[in-house]
A and B are shown apart, each in its own frame.
Chain A
Amino acid sequence: MAKYDYVPSPFMSNPIVKWVDHRLPIFEMVDQQLIKYPAPRNLNYWWNFGSLAGVMLVVMILSGIFLAMNYQPSTVAAFDSVERIMRDVNYGWLLRYMHMNGASMFFVVVYIHIARGLYYGSYKAPREILWWLGLLIFLAMMATAFMGYVLPWGQMSFWGATVITNLFSAIPLVGKSIVTWLWGGFSVDNPTLNRFFALHYLLPFVIAGLVLLHLWALHVHGSNNPLGIDAKGPQDKIPFHPYYTVKDAFGLSVFLIIYAYFVFFNPYMLGDPDNWIPANPLVTPPHIVPEWYFLPFYAILRSVPDKLGGVTLMFGAIAILFVLPWLDTSRVRSGRFRPAFRVFFWLFMVVTVTLGWCGSQPPEGMALTIGQICTVLYFLHFLVFLPLLGWFERPLPLPASIAEPVLKSAAK
């Protein structure tokens, strides 16, 4: 982070604040890292999604705590206790729908946040660790979401848990023992549900810890920006408050409108009807699909007609993101100055959405073929297109500073 002249906020001269700060400089940290924190002056609305994700984490933890006060993690009581929340607990339906649809909203926000990072090259030096921490958050979110989906103990809960835990049986030699260990038995049953509840309650706090690290890493070099060039001086930056607090707040209010629409007027749209049927270990629903946010990975899993191969490829689809900073060989960060990269970026977006569609279809015929093509394209993007683009692409000329184009357009 470029050194900047830190001028403390007026409240910093309050004697109580001074007394506290002398012992624990917490106000100074808030003032420096949140209020006066210098942010690039040209961040666009795509930069709202980081703080939105933070808000969603808080919403999920809060609604989850109140749900947990009424939930009973046992195969006998789980389904009915959720129905009791829906029917009898004061505002229980609101808590449940906030939590249920909140999971989807959280993933929407995080996927956009990731896509923004991909487009503007936010993973490039010196932000590799920031990127890794983000990926770890993503992985923890997936684990949390998966285990949370098991808790209502509906048909999809049970069979989703069965199918996903069975992925681990693909591991040679020890796979079977690992799955038995995961289950705490010989099928998904009461011990599984109990431990999933314990972990589902724990992991969000792990995520919160990772988020703090993510923010720490972010504040070392500051936010990337749509131009992808480093700030040259104080004229390139503005204090976080009030500029980005108000912008984030406005973005949040728009996001909440969409979220509230789902919670109040369309709460079942993103879920599967089968999960309103109590779990039945003897009958598999005819068409098992994971929640929408797992569909692209599910499609990759099914595009390989080999158990171990499919599982490896699915995990590889995420693992490959960890080495992305080195696979992308271009020295230019932002896609705005990389005309060829832009084409491949949008191709990649289409590929992931198409994979999502394939994941929702029965694995046969057209959907399977398209899924296989898209799986190949997914990996080609990282392993071939990105490394080669850095070599062959001729980027557009970069502006001299962040402030330059801003001030130029203002002068006109």
Chain B
Amino acid sequence: MRSFRFLLAGVGLALSLGTAAASEGPEIPHQHWSHDGFFGTFDRAALQRGYQVYKEVCSACHSMKQMRFRNLEGIGLDEAQIKAVAAEFETTDGPNDDGEMFQRPSRPSDRFRMPFANDNAARAVNGGALPPDLSLIAKNRKGGENYVVALLTGYADPPEGVTVPEGMHYNKVFPGHMIAMNQPIQDDAVTYADGTKATVDQMAHDVATFLAYAASPHLEARNALGVKVMLFLFVLAGLLYAAKRKIWKGLH
């Protein structure tokens, strides 16, 4: 058992060093999220506000290729609402009987509208920079949704002696600090239907919640099943431990 403790200490050391290595660069403060922890669930109101921010601000440049309108079920919309939201957009379909592609209102099974036809079109409009797809941004950036908040609230005047090139902007947490995206949200950039005051912090937190959902739509199902599986395994381990004790009792 002594050697086991030794090993655990080694693994712990390795892991802490590993995480230390992962967190080079600017510190990303950890926000409070309702979806953190073993019993975490998404805040539906925040998800809906976050979708509004995405739709009214981010979606002008950022695609969300993995999202379909039907996925909005997870932010708390019902079927009729999803149909209505989808119908606000158009999807290219076809070819029709004349061999032509045509536009029709989107359906729940359609993907979110792409702001640009392709990456090159996106670059051409954005001064050579490609706005990244946001479907998985809360998974593919270190810090996840915390990074999203930190980035959106991280715009500042450059420190003394740092010159920001034409078309770039200074950001405290962006790697290299020079980001092509201008500060995307200002206070009251959107008007929330539920009357929440649309401060930059509020909007950043809301849209980050929505992006966290988009990256892990099964988080709630995962947590719910996980808790059950854990309980089951603890009981199973207890039973097997008792059985093991019983069977081995006569041996030593």
Contact = CB atoms under 8 A, between A and B. Distances in A.
Answer yes or no: A and B touching, Cβ < 8 Å. Answer: yes
Nearest to A41: B251
B226 to A, nearest CB: 3
Interface in A327-383: 346, 349-350, 353, 356-357, 360-361
A246 B249 CA distance: 13
A260 B230 contact: yes
A243 B230 contact: no
B217 interface: yes
A260 B226 contact: yes
A86 interface: yes
A63 to B, nearest CB: 15
Contacts of A83: 66, 135-136
B60 interface: no
Interface stretch (B81-89, B155-163, B166-174, B232-240): B232-240
A261 B240 contact: no
Nearest to A357: B17
Contact of A353 (B14, B21, B175): B14
A273 interface: yes
A410 interface: yes
A264 B226 contact: yes
A249 interface: yes
Interface string A241-271: 0110011011001101100110111011000
Given A276-B139, A360-B21, A257 B234 contact: yes
Contacts of A22: none
A44 B192 CA distance: 62
B233 A260 contact: yes
A292 B19 CA distance: 12
Given A41-B251, A264-B225, A246 B244 contact: yes
Interface in A362-408: 406
A305 interface: no
Given A257-B233, A353-B13, A361-B21, A250 B244 contact: yes
Interface in B219-247: 221-223, 225-227, 229-230, 233-234, 236-237, 240-241, 243-244, 247
Contacts of B252: 406, 409-410
Interface of A is mostly: helix
A87 interface: yes
A119 B6 CA distance: 14
Chain A residues touching B, range? 35 or more
B18 A264 contact: no
Contacts of B223: 264-265
Contact of A261 (B144, B215, B230, B237): B230
B38 interface: yes
A273 B139 contact: yes
Contacts of B141: 273
Nearest to B237: A253
A238 interface: yes
Contact of B243 (A115, A238, A246, A254): A246
B70 to A, nearest CB: 10
A121 to B, nearest CB: 15
Contact of A243 (B215, B227, B251): B251
Contacts of B227: 264
A356 B15 CA distance: 10
B240 A253 contact: yes
Nearest to B241: A250
9 contacts: A86-B218, A93-B218, A243-B248, A247-B248, A264-B223, A265-B222, A265-B223, A286-B175, A292-B18
Closest 8 CB pairs of A and B: A264-B226, A276-B140, A253-B237, A250-B240, A276-B139, A93-B218, A276-B136, A250-B244
Interface of A: 41, 80, 83, 86-87, 93-94, 97, 112, 115, 119, 238, 242-243, 246-247, 249-250, 253-254, 256-257, 260-261, 263-265, 267-268, 273-277, 286, 292, 346, 349-350, 353, 356-357, 360-361, 406, 409-410
